[in-house]
Chains A and B, each alone.
Chain A
Amino acid sequence: MSIVLDAHHEEDHHHKETFITKYIFSQDHKMIAKQYLITGLFMGIVGIAMSLLFRLQLAWPEQPFWIFEALLGKWAPDGVMDPNVYLALVTIHGTIMVFFVLTAGLSGTFSNLLIPLQIGARDMASGLLNMISFWLFFLSSLVMLMSLFVEAGPAAAGWTIYPPLSALPQAQPGSGLGMTLWLVSMTIFIASSLLGSLNYIVTVINLRTKGMTMSRLPLTIWAFFVTAIIGVVSFPVLLSAGFLLIMDRSFGTSFFLSDIFIQGEVLHYQGGSPVLYEHLFWFLGHPEVYIVLLPALGITSEVIATNARKPIFGYRAMVASILAIAFLSTIVWGHHMFISGMNPFLGSVFTFTTLLIAIPSAVKAFNYITTLWKGNLQLNPAMLFSIGLVSTFISGGLTGIILGDSTLDINVHDTYFVVAHFHLVMGISALYGLFAGVYHWFPKMFSRMMNKNLGYIHFWVTAVCAYGVFFPMHFIGMAGLPRRYYTNTAFPYFDDIANINIVITIFALIAGLAQLVFLYNFIHSMFYGKKTVQNPWNSTTLEWTAEIEHIHGNWKGPIPSVHRWPYDYSKPGYKEDFVPQTLPLKKGEEELQH
């Protein structure tokens, strides 16, 4: 129970730390946040590099590339990629980006860093569980990366690993050992995620400082808190789906399999249904979208309010919409399955619930815009990425209304239209949230500032290229081009969109290069960046009152208590345009909260 120890004792403890307890098996939430971030960024490099490889293949399908042979070896003889490897790249790209980068990398980093600092706690409720959570995540990343090196290749059934394709090694080479490792990795990952989430929930409920009522929590904390709840509710369902799949694969049960003839042989499976797997998978799969997105939206709320120097518009509406999204997210999974063969009436129900999500989403989008309206905008890189997020959230969200309507979905289901939609609304949006968070809280993490100009280059190139990549995909999707095709040359009908594929790939390559600017900026600033001041963004929240140098326990003295909500920017009656949460109300001053 290190949290109840007084600061003085923490100081003593601090001196006894060895290299291993400080940097490797650390129980300090700030160090664990950094470990999550760096592991997440590394996985991000792997995931994005994979996407560039298959983009090259899609743009110039007949062309051999030396880089294929260099990186893929015997899977790309003479530089021509094997179709199975293409599917493997698509699969592992999806898995890594969704789970390892945008779930663990985003939520793991910022929940860990910000929950104790912004609610005024000395650490997480359980430092030990927190440490175990990170190392399980690390282990699952290792297993996932290991699966890239098995003889028959990694899992290649798409990130959704629908059986029977994923269940039968006869169906594709990746469904052998590669798929086993994928399932093992995800099992460990889910354990890590559950430990982390439980810790976040308990910390937010129990360890808020004096005066930090739930209605005074920054929206970041609200987002992380609700995200953790969604995770705890839905991840175990994926775990059960994974276990049942393992049973089918290894122990001959028939949960998901029935009536199969493959490679000249009738298999014994009888009575199961792949549709059951789809239900179980998407019961996590859809909330997962919000597990990815909500933390990014929380970060955006914080960054936009701070840098617009205005209170966030509609604080209560924002909290309500987070809660509404969380609730709705668990009852919409069927919209991934309109044409799976499930009862069409069920499709109607899911259309209805899905379209309801437009309401809280629109509330959030409008509140961001009204917060920005007539604000004193500080356009630093974090702010630009946050505004970028609002933009991609809207443009990706609009196509969501089309896909959520079962009737329209029939025609564009599983085409590039879907690829465009979810990359914009959750992929790019969450990535922008991650970048905004890194630029904004880098001083808190590493006590140094990132280079602003490199940040501008990073943002503008990324923003232009992200739309350059995903906007044209809407059109090729509506033209009928299915996703997960190794090449489109088998259909002369698609010959006239080959040029669009080249344009997309060029934008993707430039976007990939732009991320190198970010990496350079990140690593360079970590060691040589300008030293930060106490409160570099003139922010009101508690983390900026903590010590610049990291100490175990966060505050040398007693934990500050809180007297007001976190969005007192440009409040009349004050000289400064921000009033820290720690400042007591003046006599007769009204506490704002709307």
Chain B
Amino acid sequence: MITLAILIFFGLYTWTDIMSVEENEEALVIELYAQQFNWKARYSGEDGVLGDANVRFLQDFDGKNIAGIDSTDPNGFDDVVTTELHLPVGRDIIFKMRSQDVLHSAFMPHFRAQMNCVPGMITEFQFTPITTTYQMRQKPEVVAKVKKINKIRVEKSKNLVANGEEPLEPYVFDYLLLCNKICGASHYNMQMKIIVETPEEFEKWINEQPNFAESIQ
């Protein structure tokens, strides 16, 4: 009974801690946008506010409006939609999840983070990445795992080459975002690369991306 009480108390304390999303000035707001069978990320741009969006705007601008941003909302003009998820290390990230067709689940196993993406509503999750992709690749346990995986891939490649097929590419460590709610035929291959980098690298990258106003030109 005492054990159970401790489990419940401690569990609920941590749960509240994780799940309470606190809007704050420094936090970076990113929308994760799910569809069969890929992910997109939408950054809120300089104003820090995501523009309104709805699936009814998806066909605007000859389909160039790939996240369904409302073009009458000025907050959306500087939003940036990408197919890779870049996160600056050490900064609070608030994820807002949307889906355009069926249920998906944004699962980031390395961050122990997961939240469903539900059509018709926006779900939230918040965390702060503390290790960059580069630092992770240097960690002894990650190095060992990558080595093991590559040994397996070399073995497999030998068979493939013998059958006249392309060999497998060597594996390097990357953080992953994958879909963890059954969503159809290619559910098993619905993924996005996550790159955690220094704030400077992140700024450089995000400034190279076209924003919404530019992309619909």
Interface set of A (CB-CB < 8 Å, partner B): 82-84, 87, 157-158, 162-165, 168, 171-172, 257-262, 266, 271-275, 339-341, 344, 347-348, 351-352, 355-356, 358-359, 401, 405-408, 410-411, 413-415, 479-480, 482, 484-488, 490-493, 495-496, 498
CB–CB B188/A341 < 8 A? no
What is the bound-complex CA distance between A400 and B76, given in angstroms?
44
A-B contact pairs, 10 of them (CB 8 A): A258-B121, A274-B120, A339-B116, A347-B15, A351-B12, A479-B109, A487-B188, A490-B188, A495-B153, A496-B149
For the complex, give the distance between the alpha carbons of A351 and B9 in Å.
Answer: 10
- What are the residues of chain B within 8 A of A157 when measuring CB–CB? 182
| A414/B105 in contact, CB under 8 A | yes
Q: Mark B1-31, 1 if CB is under 8 A from A, else 0.
A: 1001001100110111011100000000000
Cross-interface CB contact of A341 among B12, B54, B58, B121, cutoff 8 Å: B121
Interchain CB contact (< 8 A) of B112 among A162, A258, A410, A490: A410
Bound-state CA distance A355–B153 (Å) is 43
B133 CB-CB contact with A under 8 Å: no
Which residue from A162, A351, A488 sits with its C-beta under 8 Å from B11?
A351
> Contact residues of B with A, CB < 8 Å?
1, 4, 7-8, 11-12, 14-16, 18-20, 35-36, 54-56, 58-59, 68, 97, 100-103, 105, 107, 109-110, 112-116, 118-121, 123, 145, 148-149, 152-153, 168, 171, 173-174, 176, 178-189, 191
The answer to whether B12 touches A482, judged by C-beta atoms less than 8 angstroms apart, is: no
Asked whether, in the complex, the Cβ of A401 is within 8 Å of the Cβ of B7, the reply is yes
Q: Which of B54, B105, B168, B173 has the most CB of A within 10 A?
A: B105
Taking a contact as CB atoms under 8 Å apart, the answer to whether B180 and A415 are in contact is: yes
> Do B180 and A344 touch across chains, with their CB atoms under 8 A apart?
no
Residues of A within 8 A of B56 (CB): 259, 261, 266
Q: Does the CB pair B187–A87 fall under 8 Å?
A: yes
Enumerate chain B residues within 8 angstroms of A491, measured Cβ to Cβ: 176, 178, 191
Cross-chain contact B188 with A485 (CB below 8 angstroms): yes
B144 CB to closest chain A CB (Å) equals 10
Identify the interface centre among A163, A410, A480, A484: most chain B CB within 10 Å of its CB: A410
CB distance from B25 to the nearest CB of A (A): 23
Q: CA of A365 to CA of B191 in the docked complex: distance in angstroms? A: 42
Residue among A261, A415, A479, A496 making CB contact with B148, cutoff 8 Å: A496
- A261 with B101: in contact, given A83-B188, A275-B118 (CB under 8 Å)? yes
Interface contacts beyond A87-B182, A341-B123, A485-B187: sample of 10 additional A-B pairs, CB < 8 Å, sorted by A: A84-B184, A157-B182, A171-B184, A274-B120, A351-B11, A407-B15, A408-B11, A413-B180, A480-B109, A486-B185
Closest partner residue, chain B, to A408 (CB atom): B11
Q: Are B189 and A355 in contact (CB under 8 A)?
A: no
Residue of B115, B119, B183 near A339 (CB, 8 A) is B115
CB–CB B176/A411 < 8 A? no
Looking at the complex, which one of B55, B101, B109 makes contact with A171 (CB distance below 8 Å)?
A: B101
Smallest Cβ distance from A154 to chain B, in angstroms?
14
> Can you name the residue of chain A whose Cβ is closest to the Cβ of B176?
A493
User: Which listed residue, B15, B97, B152, B179, touches A344 by the CB 8 Å rule?
Assistant: B15
How far apart sit A485 and B183, CA to CA, in the bound complex (Å)?
10
Bound Cα distance A271, B114 (Å): 25
Q: Is the CB of B176 within 8 A of A405?
A: no
- The residue of chain B having its C-beta at the shortest distance from the C-beta of A493 within the complex is B176
Shortest CB-to-CB span from A248 to chain B, Å, is: 13
Chain B residues closer than 8 Å to A492, beta-carbon distance: 149, 153, 168, 171
Listed residue (B59, B100, B180, B189) with the most chain A CB atoms within 10 angstroms of its CB: B180
A348-B16 in contact (CB<8A): yes
CB distance from B109 to the nearest CB of A (A): 3
- How far is B100's CA from A168's CA once the two chains are assembled, in angstroms? 13
Min CB distance B111 to A, Å, is 9
5 closest Cβ pairs, A-B complex: A258-B120, A480-B109, A344-B19, A341-B123, A261-B55
- CB of B15 within 8 A of CB of A275, answer no
